[in-house]
Structure 1
Amino acid sequence: MESKFDNTEDKNVYRVQGFTCTNCAGIFEKNVKNLPGVIDAQVNFGASKITVFGNTTVEDLEKAGAFESLKVTSEKQLINEKNKPFWRENWNVLLSAVLLVMGYFLGEQYGEESFLSAVTYVASILIGGYELFKKGIKNLFRLQFDMNTLMSVAIIGAAAIGEWGEGATVVILFAISEVLELYSMEKARQSIRSLMDIAPKEALIRRGSEEFTVSVDDIQLGDVMIVKPGQKLAMDGIVIKGTSTINQAAITGESVPVTKTIDDEVFAGTLNEEGLLEVKVTKRIEDTTISKIIHLVEEAQAERAPSQAFVDRFAKYYTPAIMILALGITVVPPLFLGAAWGDWIYRGLALLVVGCPCALVISTPVSIVTAIGNAAKNGVLIKGGIHLEEAGRLSAIAFDKTGTLTKGFPEVTNFITFGNNEENELLSAAAVIEKGSQHPLASAIIRKAEKDGSDLSFEVTEFQSITGKGVKATVKGELYYIGNPKLFNELHGSINQDTAKEIKELQEQGKTVMILGTDQQILALIAVADDVRDSSKNVIKELHEIGIKKTIMLTGDNQATANVIGKQLHVAEVKAELLPQDKLDYIKELRQNYGKVAMIGDGVNDAPALAASTVGIAMGGAGTDTALETADIALMADDLSKLPYTIRLSRKTLAIIKQNITFSLGIKLVALALIVPGWLTLWLAIFADMGATLIVTLNSLRLLKVKGNPSNNTPTGDE
C-alpha cells in the first residue's frame, strides 16, 4: 500500500502483539495519529504491524494501545517469544470459572438470591472481567462503542437487574472466546512468521584470508559466504566455487532440489544439501528475495479486498442501527405498552451483545491473510486481496509462448546457407548482431556460435531493433538483417518459392525460422526449436477441467509453428505473428467477451498485455525484480502447474468468505428473532456472537489445508 508519506525520512515500522479484531486495530491507528510528533500512521491488521510517519517512541505507542494492552516492538528487533503455560497466562479466567461454578452450587443449596451466591458471582465477574471493564468503561466515556463497551454495559446492566449468574456466565464466555480468537488469529499470521524465520540470522564469511561468523545485518556486498552441506543460505548471491543441490522450496515451492554450480544464482533461506559452496553476496539483507517476498505479502495482506470493502461499509451503518434498535426495544414497550422495565432492559442488553458485528467484520480479512500466506509458502506471490479474489473469477487465460508454455531455452536445429557463403562466417555475423538483442531466440544463436568456436570479436555498428520483426546492424562494413519472414517479404517484395517452401517445411515441424540476409539477398535460414514444458499439457487440461472457458496462446512466432505447439498442448485458440500492440488489443477483446481474463508471461515482455488483463501473472518471480514489482501474481518457480493451484485456492477463498458473511448475518437474524418473545438470554446472546466469530475464524483457517502436492504440485487438502 502506498502512501503520500512514503518518502518521508521519519518513517518507522513496528510489530504489534495483541490485535484481536479490525475494530481494535482501527482505534489503535486513530490513537497513534493523535500522538504529538506523528504525521500519519497506517495499521496493517493482517501482518500485525503499524507504519508511523513522524517522531514517536515505543512507550508512546504502547500508551496509545493500552486500551487493548498492545505490545509494540521495532520491526527489526528480534523477538524471542516464550509461550507461557495456559494456566499462568489465563489464571483469572480459570479462577473466575471456578467461582462461577461455586456460585451455581451455592445458589442450588441456599437459593438463587442468597447473599453467598451473589457475592461469589460478583467475585467471578470482577476477576474475570477486570480487563474487559477497564477497556469498556474507558471507551464508554470516549463514546467509542466497540465490543468491550457493549459487553461492559450488558454485564453491568445484568447485575443492576439482579441477574448475577447471567452476568458471570457472559464474562466467562467472553474471556474464553477472546483467548481462542487470539489463538486463531495468531495461527493465521503464522504463515508469514514462518517465512521470516526461514533465513539464518548469521553466516560464515570470508574477507581476505580471514573467516568469521557475522550477523546478516553486517554482511557487505561482495563478501564471500561459505555454506556447508546441511546449512541454509543467509543471503542472496552468486556461486563462485563448488557444486551442490539446493532445496529452494521455501522460495519457489519446488519440491525437487536444483543443482547449482559456478555463476548460478542462489537465494537466502534455501537449503544446501550436498556440497560445500562459496557464494559471493550480491544483495543486502533488506533486498534479498525472501525479504521482498515477506514485505510484498505483508503489504498484500493490508490491501482491502472488494468483499472486505463491502463488509466495512455495511458495518459502518449496521452498528449504529443496532444501538438505536436496542434503545428502542428497551424504552418503547415499557413507555407506550406498559410492559415491565426489567424484562425489556434485559432484552435490549441481549440485543447489544448479539448485535456486535465482530464475526462479520473479521470474516474477510482472516480469510485473505490465511490464503495469501499459504500461497507464499507454496511458491505463489499474490500481491493483494483484490487479485486473490479476481483469480477465482477467471473465465479465460492467455499464455505467452516462449518461456511460459515452452522451456525458454531454444536451440538452433538447422543452419542452412545459400550460395557460396561460409556457414561459420555467417554464424559469427548473426551471433555478434544478436548480442545486442533482447529476444529470447537470440540466445540460441549465440550459444550455437560459441559451441562451434565461431569468432565473436567483430565490431557491430548501427544496431537497430525493428519491433516485432527483427534487427539490423553493420558488421565489417556490411549491413545485415536478421528477422522473421515478414521482414524479408517487406525488404525484397517477396521470398522466392524454393526458399518459402523450405521455410514452410521447417515451420510445420514446430520450428521458428529466422532469416539472415541483406536488403538484396537471403544468406541463411536459422531454424530454432524451443521444447514444450513437461507440465504445460497437463496444466491446460486441468484448467479446462476446473471450468476455465478458454485458453489462448499468444505469440509473435509464425502461424505454422504456433499451430504445431497449440495442437500439441490442446490450447483452445492460437494467435500468432502478433506485435506487442496486437497482444494488448486481443486481451482487450477477450475482456469484452469473457469478462475476467488473465495474461501469463515472464513479467518483462508483453508488459502492456499483462497490465491490460484482469490479473497479470508472471513466471519465475524468484530473483526477477521486474516480475515481483509489475505482476499481480508471481509464480516464484518456472512452474506452470502452480497456476491451477492458485485458481483453486482463490475459489476456495471466495467460497469461504461467502460462507462466513452468510453465516455471520444469518446467526444475527436468528438471534434477533428470538429477542421479541424473550427467548434470547444474555449468555445465549454472547454464545451466538462470540461463537460466530470463532466459527468464521476457524472456517478461514481451513485455507491452510490447501497445498501443492509434492509429486505434481496440484492442490490437495480441503478442497
Structure 2
Amino acid sequence: MEKAAKNEYRLENLTCASCAMKFENNIKNLPAVEEAIVNFGASKVSVVGDVTVEDIEKAGAFDGIKVAPINRRKEEKIPFFKRKENVLTAISFVFLVIGIIASFIYEETHPLAIGLFVVSIVVGGYDMFKGGLINLSRFYFDMKTLMTIAIIGAAIIGEWREGAVVVFLFAVSEALEAYSMNKARQSISQLIDIAPPSATIRRAGQLVEVDTEFIQINDVLIVKPGQKIAMDGIVLKGNSAVNQASITGESVPAVKTVGDEVFAGTLNEEGSLEVKVTKRVEDTTIAKIIHLVEEAQAEKAPSQKFVDKFAKYYTPAIIVIAFLVALLPPLFGADWQTWIYQGLAVLVVGCPCALVVSTPVAIVTAIGNAAKQGVLIKGGIHLEEIGRLQAIAFDKTGTLTKGYPEVTYVEAEFKDDFIQKVMSIETYSQHPLAKAIVKYGAKSHMHPVEVDDFQSVTGKGAEGSVDGENWSVGSVSWISSISTVSDQVIHTIEQLQTEGNTVMLAAVDGVYKGYIAVADPIRETSSHVLKELKAAGIKHTVMLTGDDERTAKAIASRLGMTDVEAGLMPEQKLTAIKALKEKYGAVAMVGDGVNDAPALAASTVGIAMGGAGTDAALETADVALMADDLEKLPYTIRLSRKALHIIKENIMFALGLKIIALLLIIPGMLTLWIAIFADMGATLLVVLNSLRLLRVHK
C-alpha cells in the first residue's frame, strides 16, 4: 500500500509548549492521519495522511490555532493591542477595577460587586473555561484545566474578587508569553522574508515580472542595483558587489563577476547583473537554510527530553499535593474554607508551563540567532554538545589554509622583469602552481609577453624563448642540474620548503636567475580564531592532515596549535578522532564537508566550512559555517555555552519560584493571586531570560 503524502502547514496562535503537545495528539487521533509532528519552535505542523486544513484547525480549536499553507507568504501581523484576546483582557480589567471600587464602597459580598467580578471573570476567562471544561471532561490536565478548577472553587467559597484577579493575571500572562514567543520566532520569519516574492526575467526577448515559484531553471534574471537576487544562479553578464550577509553572515560585500555563484536573498549593491537560474525556488540555499533551521528546532535536546519526562510526572504530583492540602488539615480540625482555598492556590502555582517552555524557547532563540549570523546548527542536541567541547580537530587544506596556492616569496635581481618573463612561460602551462604565478603577475598589472618554442618538460617544469633568451622554469633539482645555484640560495630554499613552500627556480641560457616560492597560505584569520578558541576554554586544538609532516608542523607551530598529526589517510583521521574522544570526551572536527566525511561523522560535532556553496556541507555536518571562514567558530561556541547556561537558569527559575510559593502554604500565606504571579513570573522570566541569546554576537 502506498504511503500518504506528507504535507506541511504554518500555524498561528500556537503560544505554549503544552498546547503544542495536545494539538499534536489531537491530530494523531484523526482517523485518516498516519503521522503528525508539531514543531513548536518553528510554529508549523507536518502531517502524513488525507486531511484538510479544516480538519487540522478543528484539532486546534481548543486554543484557536489557525492553519495556513507552508508556501504562503506571511500575512499582515495584527498589532499586539488589536488582538481579540488582548482587547477582552483590557475589558476584563476595566470591570475588575470597577468591581474593586464597588467592593470598597459597599462590601465584597454586595450583589453589585459580585456582578462586576462575574462579568470580569466571564469576559477575561471565556476561552480558558471553554478549553478547561473540555479538558476536564477528558481528564486532560493542563494550565487551563487547573485554572478552571481553581476559579470555580474560588467562586464556590465566595472568593469572587480573587477569582477575577487571577483570571486577569492569567490573561496577561498568556498575552505576554505569546508576544515573547513571537519575538523568539522572529529570526525564522525574517529568514522567510529574505528572498523577494517576484523577479524580473527575460523570456523570448521580453522582460517580464514573475512570481518566484514560477521561475524555471535556465531562466535569466535581470537584477538592478539595490535589488535583491530572487534565485540561486550563475552570473552571465555584469560585475557587482553583492551583500551576502543574509546567507553567510559576512558584512563585507563579495565581488561577483561572470561565472560566479550568487544566492537568493542576497543584495546586489552596485552594478546590474544577468543571472542564469540554477535551482528551483524550493532548492535554493536560503530555502534549505529555513528548512534545516526549522527542523533543528523540532529536534529535542537532551535537557528538553529530561524536562518533558519530568513534567509528565510533575503535574499529577501537583494535583495530588493540592488535594491533600485541601483535605488533610480540615480532617484534623482546621477551617475547611481556608484550606480548600490553599489547595486551589497550589493547583495554580503548580502549573508546569514555565518548566515545559524553559528549554525550547532558549533553543529556538539560539538556533535562529546563529542562522542570522551565518551559522547553521542542525538541532538542539548539537547546540548543547558544542557547549561541552573540550577539543577541536581541524583539517588543514581549505580550513586553516586558503586551499589554493599563492606566491609567497620572489627572489631575483630585477623582480618585475623576472616575474613577467616567468609569468609568460607559465601562461602556457596547465600546472596549478603555474596558475598561481600568472595570477600573482596579473595582480601587479603585468601582462604576459610572447613566448616562442614553448615546451613542457614532464616532471621537471617548462621552457621557452622570450625576447631571444631561452628561459627554463621548474624544480630545484632540474634547474640545479643545468645551472650553478649557490649554497646560500639552496639553504634558503630548504628553509622555505620546511615552512610548506614549493620553490620553482628559473635559469636563462643555463644561468640561474632567481626563484619563486608558492604555498597554500594560512588564512589571515586562522591564528586569531585559535587564540579566541583557547580563550573560550577549548583545551586542545589538533591539525589532522594528509600533507607532508614538515609542512604540517611548520603551520601548526605558527598557529600555536597544541598538536599535529600529518600524513594521514581518511581512515587514520577517523582513528585519530576516536582517540581524541576517549581522551577529551566531546570533540569537534572542522572540515569542508566533502572530504573527511568519516572523521566528521565520528566526531561529537561535525563542523563544515563554506556551507553556502556546497550542498554536501549542508547535508553531512551537524553545524555548517555558511561563509568559507573560521571566524564564526568562537562565536558559535560562546553562543552554545551561553544557551546551556540559560537553560540551566531557566529550569532553576521555573522550579525555584514554584518551590518558594509552595512553601508559603506552611504559614497559610499562599493566595491565588500570589500563585498566579509565581506561575506568570516564572514563565515570563524564562522567556525573557532566553531572549538574552539574541544579544550574543560575533
Same fold (TM over 0.5): yes
- Give 1:590-609 correspondences, 5 Å limit: 590-609=580-599
Matched, 1:705 2:691: no
Query: 1:161 Cα deviation (Å)?
Result: 0.2
Separation in structure 2 between the aligned mates of residue 234 and residue 223 of structure 1, nearest angstrom: 12
Q: 1:674 aligns with which of 664, 673, 689?
A: 664
Matches within 5 A, 1:358-373: 358-373=353-368
In the alignment, does 2:312 pair up with 1:320?
Answer: no
Alignment of 1:300-699 (within 5 A): 300-335=296-331, 337-411=332-406, 431=430, 504-511=494-501, 528-699=518-689
| Of 555-564 and 365-374, the range deviating more from structure 2 | 555-564
Which residue of structure 2 lines up, in the alignment, with residue 71 of structure 1?
A: 66
- Provide the residue aligned with 1:24 in structure 2: 19
The aligned amino acid for 1:31 is: N
1:506-536, Cα deviation, whole Å (9 max, x unpaired): 422322589xxxxxxxxxx997401111111
Matched with 2:257 is: 261
Is the 2:227–2:268 Cα contact (8 Å) retained in structure 1?
yes
Moved more, 380-389 or 323-332: 323-332
Q: 189-198 vs 674-683, which deviates more?
A: 674-683
1:463 maps to none
SS of 1:80 mapped into structure 2? coil
Amino acid at match of 1:408: G
Q: CA deviation at 1:112?
A: 1.9
> Partners in 2 of 1:443 and 1:589 — Cα distance?
39
Give the 5 Å matches for 1:128-143.
128-143=124-139
CA 1:454–1:306: 2 relative to 1, 3 Å: farther
The match for 1:274 is 270
Task: Confirm or deny: 8 A CA contact 1:427 1:454 kept in the other structure.
Answer: no
Question: SS in structure 1 opposite 2:209?
Answer: strand
1:431 CA drift (Å):
4.4
> What SS does the aligned partner of 1:72 have?
strand
The CA deviation string for residues 182-218 of structure 1, in whole angstroms up to 9 with x for no partner, is 0000000010000100110100000231110100011
Instruction: Report how far residue 444 of structure 1 moved.
Output: 6.1
- Please state whether the residue corresponding to 1:275 is helix, strand or coil: coil
Q: Distance in 2 between matches of 1:412 and 1:691?
A: 62
- Cα distance 1:8–1:503, how it changes in 2: closer, same or farther (>3 A)? farther
Checking the alignment, whether the CA contact within 8 Å between 2:426 and 2:435 is kept in structure 1 is no
Task: Specify whether residues 616 and 684 from structure 1 end up closer, same or farther in structure 2 by C-alpha distance, changes over 3 A only.
Answer: same
CA shift for structure 1 position 501: 8.7
CA contact (8 A) 2:11 2:43 kept: yes
Secondary structure, aligned partner of 1:93: helix
Answer yes or no: is 1:286 the counterpart of 2:276. no
Q: Which amino acid aligns with 1:691?
A: G
Matched letter for residue 10 of structure 2: R
2:561 alignment partner, SS class: coil
Please, which runs of 5 or more residues in structure 2 have no aligned partner?
411-421, 460-474, 477-489, 505-514
| Deviation sequence 1:673-696 (CA, Å, 0-9, x none) | 111221110010011011100110
Matches within 5 A, 1:36-185: 36-84=31-79, 86=81, 89=84, 90-185=86-181
Distance in 2 (alpha carbons) for counterparts of 1:428 and 1:270: 35
Query: How far apart, CA to CA, are the structure 1 residues paired with 2:66 and 2:201?
Result: 35
Structure 1 window deviating more from structure 2 (196-205 vs 14-23): it is: 14-23
CA contact (8 A) 1:512 1:558 kept: no
Identity among equivalent positions (%) equals 63
- The aligned amino acid for 1:685 is A
Q: Following the alignment from structure 2 to structure 1, what is the Cα–Cα distance between the partners of residues 691 and 622?
A: 24
Residue deviations 1:639-688 (CA, integer Å, cap 9, x gap): 21100000000011011001000111111111111112211100100110
Change (3 A) 1:707 1:668: same
Supply the distance in 2 between the matched residues of 1:614 and 1:513 (Cα, whole angstroms). 39
Equivalent residue for 2:28, pick from 33, 48, 63: 33
Q: Give the aligned residue type for 2:537.
A: G
- Distance apart, 1:332 and its partner CA: 2.1
Normalised to the residue count of structure 1, the TM-score between the two structures is 0.84
Matched, 1:235 2:200: no
State whether residues 181 and 694 of structure 1, in contact with CA within 8 Å, keep that contact through their aligned partners in structure 2: yes
Q: Tell me by how many angstroms 1:333 deviates.
A: 2.2
**Alpha-carbon contact 2:10-2:67 (below 8 Å) kept:** yes
Residues 569-578 or 675-684, more deviating: 569-578
Shift in Å, 1:54: 1.0
1:248/1:258 contact within 8 Å kept: yes
Residues 9 and 44 of structure 2 are in contact (CA less than 8 Å); yes or no, is this contact kept in structure 1?
A: yes
Aligned match of 1:197: 193
- Corresponding residue for 2:5? 10
3-state SS of the aligned residue for 2:207?
strand
Structure 1, unaligned runs of 5 or more: 416-422, 435-440, 459-469, 471-483, 486-499, 515-524, 709-719
3-state SS of paired residue (1:238):
strand
Question: Matches of 2:128 and 2:451 in 1, distance apart?
Answer: 80
User: C-alpha displacement at 1:504, in angstroms?
Assistant: 4.8
Aligned partners of 1:431 and 1:445 also within 8 Å: no
Alignment of 1:221 with 2:217, yes or no, is: yes
Partner of 2:480: none
Moved more, 46-55 or 567-576: 567-576
Instruction: Indicate the SS of the match to 1:675.
Output: coil
Deviations 1:144-166 (A, max 9, x none): 10100000100110010000000
SS of alignment partner, residue 28 of structure 1: helix
Q: Report the CA distance between 1:401 and its aligned residue.
A: 1.0
In 2, are the aligned partners of 1:430 and 1:445 still within 8 Å (CA)?
no
Aligned residues: 645
Report the alpha carbon displacement of residue 285 of structure 1 after superposing the two structures with TM: 0.1
Cα offsets for 1:235-293 (capped at 9, x unmatched): 00000000000000000000000100000000000000000100000000000000000
Deviations 1:75-98 (A, max 9, x none): 012232242461563222111111
* Kept after mapping to 2: 8 A contact 1:227/1:277: yes
Q: Which stretch of the first structure deviates more once superposed, 185-194 or 208-217?
A: 208-217
For the 8 Å contact 2:499–2:555, the answer to whether it is kept is no
SS in 1 for 2:47: strand
- The Cα offsets for residues 412-437 of structure 1, whole Å up to 9 and x where unpaired, read as 7799xxxxxxx99x9999948x8xxx
Q: Contact 1:555/1:578 (CA < 8 Å) preserved in 2? A: yes
Cα distance 1:312–1:644, how it changes in 2: closer, same or farther (>3 A)?
A: same
Quote the Cα distance in structure 1 between the aligned partners of 2:284 and 2:565: 38
TM-score by length of 2: 0.87
Q: Any idea what SS the aligned residue of 2:683 has?
A: helix
Query: How many Å separate the matches in 2 of 1:276 and 1:543?
Result: 41
Contact 1:177–1:694 (CA under 8 A) maintained in structure 2:
yes
* Contact 2:327–2:339 under 8 Å retained in 1: yes
Alignment of 1:299 onto 2:295? yes
SS of alignment partner, residue 664 of structure 2: helix
Whether the 8 Å contact between 1:46 and 1:366 is mirrored in structure 2 is yes
- Asked if residue 245 in structure 1 is aligned to residue 241 in structure 2, the reply is yes
Closer, same or farther in 2 for the Cα pair 1:454/1:43, shift >3 Å? farther
Aligned residues: CA RMSD: 3.2
